[in-house]
Structure 1
Amino acid sequence: MGNHKLRGKDLKIINYKTNRAKSLAIDIMSMHYKHISKKERLNILKAVKENPDEYLDDPILGVLADEFSEKQQLKVREEVQLLRELGDFKVFGRKHISSNAYQQMELAMSLPIVERGALMPDAHMGYGLPIGGVLATKNAVIPYGVGVDIGCRMSLSVFDTQPEYLKRNGYQFKLALQEKTNFGSGGKLNINQEHEVLDRKEFEATSLLRQLHSKAVHQLGTSGSGNHFVEFGEVELHSGNDLGMPEGNYLGLLSHSGSRGFGAAIARHYTDVAKNQCLLPRQAQHFAWLDMNSEEGQEYWLSMNLAGDYAKACHDQIHANLCRHLGIESVVKIENHHNFAWKETGLAGEELIVHRKGATPAAKGELGIIPGSMATDGYIVRGKGESSGLFSAAHGAGRKMSRSQARNNYTNSALKKVLNSQGVTLIGGGVDEAPIAYKDLNEVMASQKDLVDIIGKFAPKMVRMDKG
C-alpha cells in the first residue's frame, strides 16, 4: 500500500520542481484518481506537465495545468498586479486541515482587498474560499466568499418536554417528517403557506429578484439536498446555559438548510458579474469581488440579505409546520447563519465585510449550534468573542472524505449498524453523509476552546434528509 502512494521524489523524476506543483498533484491524485495505479497517475501528471494547454479547461486538472502553461503564465503576469504579498491568518486545529484547503486560504489572503483572515478547525477544500474560511475585506464583497447557498443556517427549537415523548410517539413523528418536510431541487410542500418575507419590497428592487419571486414562493419551507436535514433528538442543557431553562434533557428539533434555488441564482449571477469586472488569474477567479460603492455591489448586498432572511423564513416554516402537526410548542429557539457576509467593526474601529463560508458567528455571548453527523452529537455553544478568530467558530465537523470517496469506501449495511447502535432512525440520506465521511467533532471542538464555550448538546434520534 505504501508503494501505491505518490511522493515528492516520484514527482521530481517527472520534472515537477515547485512545492506548489507537487502539492497540487498529490492532492488531486489522492482525491480524484486514488483507484488507478501509481504508474497511471504519473502518466497523467506527466501529460499535464508536457501539454498543459490541453488541460486548462479540465475541471479537475485545470488548476495544475496553470502551473505549467506558458500562455496562462503570461496572462497571470498581466493580471498579477491585482494580488499582493501574502497576509497573515490565524489557523485553529491545523492538524485537522488538508493542505489544499490551507493553500486556498493562502491565495485568499493575497487579495489586495483583504485585511484579516482565519481558518476554522473543520475547514476543507471548497470553491474559492475554503469551507471553514473567514475573510475580512475592506469595502468589497466576494460572492463566492459567501457561497452558493446564501444564508445556509442552523435552527434549533427546544421543547419543555422529555425526550421519551419522541420514543412513545415515534410513528407520528416519522409521519410528520415525511409529510411536512420536502428536500431536494424543485421540491415544494403541498400545503398553503404564508410568510412576511414574500411580501418584502426588496423583491421589486432588481429584475433578477422579480424573476426569482415565484421560485421563493414555490420552495418556502423546504430544504436542500446533500448534508441538509431536519431531525428530532435529545437536547442536553448544561447549568448556566443562558437560555432561561434549568439543566436537564429535553426534546429538540434541529434543521439545517439555506436559501434554496433563490439564493443559488443570486450567487451565480453576481459571481459572473464579479468575474467580468475583476480580472484575476485563473486560480483566483472565484475570489472576484464587487466594490461596495458600485451599483452591482449594492445590488448583491441587498439580494444577499434578502436571501438570508428567506433562509430563516424557510426554517421558521419547517418548525411551525411540524409543531402544528404534532401539537407541540417550543419554548426556546437558537439559530445562526454560516454562509453569509456581515458588516462588522474591526480592531482598529474600521468597518470590514466579514465573510463566513461555513463558519459560525461567535461574538462574545452569541449563541450558536455546531452539528455533528446523522449519528453523532452536536453542540450548543456560546461565543467567547476571540478577535484572532474573527469572532467565529467551526460550523460542523467538516468533511474528511468526498461524497464519491464515502460511497466507494462504505456500505449501506455498515451505515445501518452505526445508526442502530446509536438508536437513530434515518429517513432518506445515504452513505455519502455517513459519520465516517466527517472529522471527529470532539477533536474539532477541542481545537477551538478559545472560540466558544459549550452550553449543551444535541443527539439526533430521527433524521430526515433528501431521498426519503
Structure 2
Amino acid sequence: MPVKMVLNAKASPGTVPVKIYTKEIEHAALEQLKNIAQLPIVYSHVAAMPDVHLGKGATVGSVIPTVGAIIPAAVGVDIGCGMNAVRTSLQANQLPDSLKSVRAAIEARVPVGFARHKMINARESACKDLAPGADRLFEKHPALLKMLRDPQRTWVTQVGTLGGGNHFIEICLDESDQVWVMLHSGSRGIGNAIGQHFIKLARKDMAVHIHNLPDRDLAYFSEGSQHFDDYVEAVNWGQEYARVNRQEMMKLVIGCLREYLPPFTLTSEAINCHHNYVVREAHFGRDVFVTRKGAISAQRDQLGIIPGSMGSRSYIVRGKGNPESFCSCAHGAGRKMSRNAARKRFTRRDLEEQTKGVDCRKDSGVLDEIPAAYKDIDRVMGNQSDLVDVVHTLRQVICVKG
C-alpha cells in the first residue's frame, strides 16, 4: 500500500497542504516544502513524490502548481533534464560475453563530462531548428553571452552530449531479456546559464516588490511583470533543447550499437520525458503552471521512465492520472545522502560490490553515485502504486557515466 502523509492539513490562511508520498524524508526537505506551501501563488496543495529530498532552490521530487506565476529556481538550472528510452529487438543472448568494447565505443562516440563535439556542425540538422530561438535569447539577454565561453559554439557543440553528475547512458535488459537503451541528461551549459540568469532577475524583482519571502530561492515572476514572458520563452526553448539533446544522443548510441551488435530494429516508440520543467495544465478546475522538479508527468496511460541508481532496477511505467499528485510520479530513486557524505562513507570496494554484473566505471570519480547513496527504488515504487503501473522492469548491463 502506498504511504502518504499530509503537512499543514489544518493550515492557517495563505498556507496550502503538502501531500507527501513517503515517510522517508529529512527535516531540511520538510522545511523546504513548508516554505513553498506559504507562497501566495501556490494553488490547492504541493505534492511531494516518494523520492523527495532536499534540493537547491526547491525540494527535489516536488510538484508545485502556481497561479499566474513561475518560480525559476524551482525549475532549476538543468532545465528540461529528463529521460529517453527505447526498446530494441535484440535479446540478451545476442550481446557479447564482454561488454567492455561496447561501453568504450559509446564513451568514444558520445562526449561525456565537460567534453563536447569537436566539430561545430556535428549535429547540424538539430541545431538548425534550435538556432532561431537561441539567437532571440542572446539578443534579448546579452548577459547570457557573458556567462558562456564562446556561447554560440557552446550550445551547438553540446547538442548530443551527456554531461556529468547523475547523468548516464545505460544498456538494460527487461523481464523478457529484451535489450533497451536508456539515457538521462538535460540542457547542458546553455540551460544552466538560462536558469542562473533568470533566478538572479527574479530575486532582484522580489527584493523591490516583496520583502517577506520565506526563502530567497522562491522568488517568482508574475504574469504581466517585466521578465515573465521572457522567462517563459527562455524556459520553453531550454526544455526543447534538452529533449533534442537526448534525442541526438540516442541516435549516436543506436548507431554505435549497430556497429558492434547483430542487426536489430527498434520495437517500441521512444519515451522522451522531462523531469525538471514547467508546463501549463488544468487541475482542480483551474489553469495553472505546474513545476515538476524531479518528477515526471503521469497522465492516464502516459508512459514514463523511473530509473534506479547505478546497479539497481529501473522501471517503464504507465500513468494512472491521479489528481492528488497533479498527475505526476517520482523521477527516480532519490538521494538519501549528499555526494560528500557518500564519498566519505563508501570505498571503491563498496562500489565494485554494489555494481556487480554491470559494466561501468568503478573508480573513485563516481563514488558519489554509488547505489547505497540513493533510496531503495522498490520502496519508492511501492509508495506510488496509486500513481503508476509498472509496464517493464529493467536491469542495467552497461552504464556510462559523465
Length-normalised TM-score, structure 1: 0.75
With over 3 angstroms needed to count, the CA separation of the structure-2 counterparts of 1:84 and 1:126, relative to structure 1, is farther
- Distance in 2 between the 1:151 and 1:291 partners? 21
Q: Which amino acid aligns with 1:204?
A: D
% same residue: 33
The aligned residue for residue 163 of structure 2 is 224
With over 3 angstroms needed to count, the CA separation of the structure-2 counterparts of 1:419 and 1:340, relative to structure 1, is same
The aligned residue for residue 452 of structure 1 is 388
Query: Which of 268, 272, 276 does residue 200 from structure 2 map onto?
Result: 272
Deviation at 1:329, TM superposition (A): 4.3
Alignment of 1:377-392 (within 5 A): 377-392=313-328
- Distance in 1 between the 2:182 and 2:303 partners? 15
Matched, 1:343 2:254: no
Deviation at 1:321, TM superposition (A): 1.2
The aligned residue for residue 424 of structure 1 is 358
- Distance in 2 between the 1:179 and 1:330 partners? 23
Say which SS state the counterpart of residue 158 (structure 1) adopts: strand
Say which SS state the counterpart of residue 196 (structure 2) adopts: helix
Say which SS state the counterpart of residue 311 (structure 2) adopts: coil
Deviation at 1:293, TM superposition (A): 2.5
Q: Which runs of 5+ in 1 are unaligned?
A: 1-82, 237-247
Say which SS state the counterpart of residue 457 (structure 1) adopts: strand
Deviation at 1:295, TM superposition (A): 4.2
Aligned pair count reads: 368
Higher helix share: 1
Alignment of 1:73-112 (within 5 A): 85-93=14-22, 95-112=23-40
The aligned residue for residue 94 of structure 2 is 165
Q: Which amino acid aligns with 1:252?
A: W
- Distance in 2 between the 1:151 and 1:325 partners? 25
Instruction: Say if 1:360 and 1:393, in contact at 8 Å, map to a contact too.
Output: yes
Query: Which of 284, 297, 309 does residue 373 from structure 1 map onto?
Result: 309
The aligned residue for residue 5 of structure 2 is none
Instruction: Say if 1:84 and 1:112, in contact at 8 Å, map to a contact too.
Output: no
With over 3 angstroms needed to count, the CA separation of the structure-2 counterparts of 1:297 and 1:413, relative to structure 1, is same
Q: Which runs of 5+ in 2 are unaligned?
A: 1-11, 146-150, 259-263
Query: Which of 125, 129, 135 does residue 199 from structure 1 map onto?
Result: 129
- Distance in 2 between the 1:306 and 1:89 partners? 30
Query: Which of 218, 226, 240 does residue 309 from structure 1 map onto?
Result: 240
The aligned residue for residue 325 of structure 1 is 256
Deviation at 1:218, TM superposition (A): 1.7
The aligned residue for residue 300 of structure 1 is 231
- Distance in 1 between the 2:265 and 2:240 partners? 22
RMSD: 1.9
- Distance in 2 between the 1:392 and 1:124 partners? 16
Deviation at 1:317, TM superposition (A): 1.4
1:177-232 C-alpha deviation (Å, 9 max, x unpaired): 221122223x2124622233543322232323884443210211111211110111
Deviation at 1:249, TM superposition (A): 2.8
Instruction: Say if 2:106 and 2:256, in contact at 8 Å, map to a contact too.
Output: no
Length-normalised TM-score, structure 2: 0.87
Instruction: Say if 1:371 and 1:397, in contact at 8 Å, map to a contact too.
Output: yes
- Distance in 1 between the 2:257 and 2:305 partners? 24
- Distance in 1 between the 2:85 and 2:336 partners? 25
Matched, 1:260 2:188: yes
Matched, 1:178 2:178: no
Matched, 1:414 2:350: yes
